[in-house]
Amino acid sequence: MSRPLRTLLLLHSTRSHNLGVGALSVAQVAILRDVAAALGRRLEITLADYPDSREPYITGDDIRIVPLSGKWIKSRAGYWAELKKTDVVVDIGGGDSFADIYGTRRLRLMFALKALAHLARKPYVFAPQTVGPFTRRSSRIGARMHLNRCALVAVRDAPSRDHMHDLGVREEPILASDVALRMPADPAPDLGSGLKVGLNVSGLLMAGGYTGRNEFGIELDYPALIDALIAYFRGQGAEVHLIPHVIVPEGPMTGEDDYRACAALAEAHPGTVLAPAFASPPEAKGYISAMDFFMGARMHACIAAFSTGVPVVPMAYSRKFAGLFGSLGYERTVDCRRQDADTILAAAASAWEGRAEVAREMASALDRGRMRLRRYEDALRGVLART
């Protein structure tokens, strides 16, 4: 029998309160399991993950979780020892963290992880994610050096591919899509009859961003827009479900919590339905799949709708939304940074009234996304077959 295929997953998460980050990880594990089965190899996955209060939602006999910390990275008995044992490193960058807009501390950690893996001469898979923006000369040089040394580079949108060209990366990346399109969903709950609209409310945007100073540049009153959307859909005879996708029960990051924001709105709008504080990304996706229409400011909540056939209007606060959905030819995204509330309400009404046509547009775009993901999976199989 052939020896096991040992993979080390970096910048994934088995228990992030942000279920979008978790969705990437659940999907990546599913892809790796399929690839290993096709190669006839037994799989051993090691996930380096920050300790958290949430129970891991990725489990199995093939899963081992090691605690990610600065001490672990620096220790020869920690990260370096794991690198020496592994066959391949797979890095998804938390989806969109490979950029210098989130501060030097985070980027320095990412570059350290990557540099040590290259030093250990391990094949490095840069899984589909957003690249950049990189605005500082030093970070642009570091990003180019890393990407030029990877065994496989895949991006999830066209702007990331174009940014790689600007960085001077030698090889053309695989233009894939978001791996969460492949994430399995739990069974949809029985929510009764009648039309149901899911509204994912971002606690982060309700609070005015990380600092309360509107660092995302939102040019409208987001809480007022949410109130108006609730009123519109209820006026259409729909039952409105307020659905969280970042769920932070305690700690310093509670300002990002969607669940608290949704609960406050449910209290202010009697008759709306507060969705559960989901325990895992597949549970959230199963609930979203029971909707007849969906709008949301968390991109992976929108991907959950998109990939289960629920007509969706993503509410963008960064370029990653239009990059992902636009790259697939799906042009229903609204921009909370540049458009006013009336324009967004009109787009929502148009999509709601034409939701059968929206579903057809979405099906075509989803086929395109799945086809692009197969390119990544085929290339990943090639890298793993050589180990």
3-state secondary structure the chain: CCCCEEEEEECCCCCCCEHHHHHHHHHHHHHHHHHHHHHCCCEEEEEEECCCCCCCCCCCCCEEEEECCHHHHHCCCCHHHHHHHCCEEEECCCCCCCCCCCCHHHHHHHHHHHHHHHHCCCCEEEEEECCCCCCCHHHHHHHHHHHHHCCEEEECCHHHHHHHHHHCCCCCCEECCCHHHHCCCCCCCCCCCCCEEEEECCHHHHCCCCCCCCCCCCCCCHHHHHHHHHHHHHHCCCEEEECCCECCCCCCCHHHCHHHHHHHHHHHCECEEECCCCCCHHHHHHHHCCCCEEEECCHHHHHHHHCCCCCEEEEECCHHHHHHHHHCCCCCCEECCCCCHHHHHHHHHHHHHCHHHHHHHHHHHHHHHHHHHHHHHHHHHHHHHCC
pLDDT at 131: 93
CA 315 to mean position of chain CA atoms? 15
Structure-block tokens of residue 265: 């709105």
Same domain, 173 and 70: yes
Contact (Cβ atoms closer than 8 angstroms) between residue 126 and residue 154: yes
Structure-block tokens of residue 1: 């029998």
pLDDT at 62: 96
CA distance 25 to 14: 7
Phi, psi angles (nearest 5°) of residue 124:
-115, 120
Q: What is the CATH number of the domain that holds 284?
A: 3.40.50.2000
Same domain, 245 and 150: no
Same domain, 334 and 380: no
Encoded amino acid at 61, one letter: D
Q: What is the CATH number of the domain that holds 144?
A: 3.40.50.11720
Same domain, 233 and 164: no
CA distance 373 to 147: 19
pLDDT averaged per 10 residues in sequence order, the chain, 387 residues: 88 93 96 96 94 87 93 91 96 89 80 94 96 89 95 94 93 95 95 96 79 62 95 98 93 79 97 97 98 96 97 88 89 92 97 97 96 96 95
CA distance 356 to 351: 9
Same domain, 377 and 357: no
Residue 217 lies in a domain: yes
Strands 63-67 and 43-49: parallel
Residue 26 lies in a domain: yes
Same domain, 104 and 237: no
Q: Could you give the number of structural domains in the chain?
A: 2
Same domain, 361 and 372: no
Q: Kindly report the pTM of this predicted structure.
A: 0.93
Same domain, 168 and 290: no
Residue 187 lies in a domain: no
pLDDT at 209: 57
Residue 317 lies in a domain: yes
Contact (Cβ atoms closer than 8 angstroms) between residue 282 and residue 264: no
| Three-state SS letters, 353-380 | HCHHHHHHHHHHHHHHHHHHHHHHHHHH
Same domain, 173 and 291: no
pLDDT at 119: 95
Residue 188 lies in a domain: no
Same domain, 244 and 373: no
In 3D, which of 68, 124, 69, 130 has the Cα closest to residue 98?
130
Structural domain of 14:
5-182+368-385
Q: Contacts by 281-285 with C-beta closer than 8 Å and gap 24+?
A: 281/19, 281/20, 281/22, 281/23, 281/26, 281/57, 281/180, 281/183, 282/26, 282/57, 282/183, 282/184, 282/185, 282/186, 283/186, 284/19, 284/243, 284/245, 285/23, 285/183, 285/184, 285/185, 285/186
pLDDT at 255: 72
Same domain, 96 and 210: no
CA distance 248 to 316: 21
pLDDT at 115: 94
Residue 71 lies in a domain: yes
CA distance 52 to 35: 29
CA distance 358 to 177: 20
Residues 6+ apart with CB under 8 A from 279: 54, 55, 57
Same domain, 217 and 318: yes
pLDDT at 215: 55
pLDDT at 97: 87
The neighbouring-strand residues paired with 237 are none
